[in-house]
Amino acid sequence: MGDSFYEYLLKAWIQGNKTEAVKHYRDMWETSMKGLQSLIRRSTPSSFTYICEKTGNSLSDKMDELACFAPGMLALGSFGYGPGEAEKFLALAEELAWTCYNFYQSTPTKLAGENYFFRTGQDMTVGTSWNILRPETIESLFYLWRLTGNKTYQEWGWNIFQAFERNSRIETG
């Protein structure tokens, strides 16, 4: 539940024009990303990349839709690394974005549930099925589209928008 902290470390560095005065935010972010990498798993059989949930010393093969801020954060942060590391973080961002997009594609309404479980041989199953119009996946897809120029991310965002229009619009809003 500390997702915003990590995101804002990076954004404080970016908004501070990446100067020496705010470099410590970037350094803290890079240190925290080493920890994040220890939480990355891949499902079977489809190899969806996900971030385990950590509670104390316990790991759970569960990922909240809220964690879909991570692809955008990793994509933004990849541009502060040297060549080898930059590609690695951008690739991880793209893999996680694919999983987040599939959170939406896996339901009849094409709207993501609040969280998903990953069990061996089952890929992902929705945990909590309601959708509360979270922006994290869309923001990540926007960053990936802008940073890579890959229109696939724009198309995925449009698909999600259309699902919101179809299933969430009412006469008054």
Q: What is the pTM of this model?
A: 0.95
- In this structure, the dihedral spanned by the alpha carbons of residues 74, 78, 81 and 84, taken in order and rounded to 10 degrees, is 110
Active site residue 165: no
The 8-class DSSP code of residue 129 comes to -
Give the pLDDT of residue 1. Answer: 59
pLDDT digits (tens, 9 = 90+) for 3-35: 789 999 999 999 999 999 999 999 999 999 999
Give the pLDDT of residue 121. Answer: 84
E strand map for 62-169 = 62-64, 115-119, 123-126
Give the pLDDT of residue 44. Answer: 86
The 8-class DSSP code of residue 38 comes to T
Q: Is the model's pLDDT at 137 over the cut of 80? A: yes
Instruction: State whether CATH 2.60.200.20 applies to domain 3-166.
Output: no
The catalytically annotated residue of 114, 136, 139, 165 is: 114
pLDDT digits (tens, 9 = 90+) for 57-110: 999 999 999 999 999 999 999 998 998 999 999 999 999 999 999 999 999 999
The gap from C-alpha 140 to its chain's centroid, in whole angstroms, comes to 6
Give the pLDDT of residue 59. Answer: 94
- From the list 112, 167, 100, the residue with the least C-alpha distance to 139 is 100
